[in-house]
Amino acid sequence: MGKKPKVPKVIVRPLPGDIAGLACKKDNTIELDPNIITERERLRVTVHEAYHIAEWKATEKKVDRISRQIADVLWSQGYRRTSL
């Protein structure tokens, strides 16, 4: 068993074009655009980028599919963001 990975740092900043989120494995960071319209979309993008960090070699197609499934379950169970 390796060391438990550190939780990625989440940075909210305007991203170029229509990019909603970015993940950087080297820096262990997730970046989210502040203009993501809905909380549900924000949850999806957060799970998506966390998935990239967790399984860096996964294809975009897989990351997109799995992260949607996970975000849908979390959302349906009432998981929501609180102020940190």
Question: What is the spatial distance between Cα 38 and Cα 57, in angstroms, rounded to a whole number?
Answer: 28
Minimum Å gap between C-beta 25 and Zn ion is 12
Question: What is the spatial distance between Cα 59 and Cα 4, in angstroms, rounded to a whole number?
Answer: 23
Minimum Å gap between C-beta 67 and Zn ion is 8
Question: What is the spatial distance between Cα 18 and Cα 68, in angstroms, rounded to a whole number?
Answer: 19
Minimum Å gap between C-beta 22 and Zn ion is 9
Residue 9 or 68 having the CB closest to Zn ion: 68
| Residue for token pair 């229509």 | 18
Tell me, what DSSP letter sits at residue 16?
S
Residue 6 or 60 having the CB closest to Zn ion: 60
Residue 18 or 60 having the CB closest to Zn ion: 60
> Which residues contact Zn ion (rule: CB under 5 A)?
60, 63
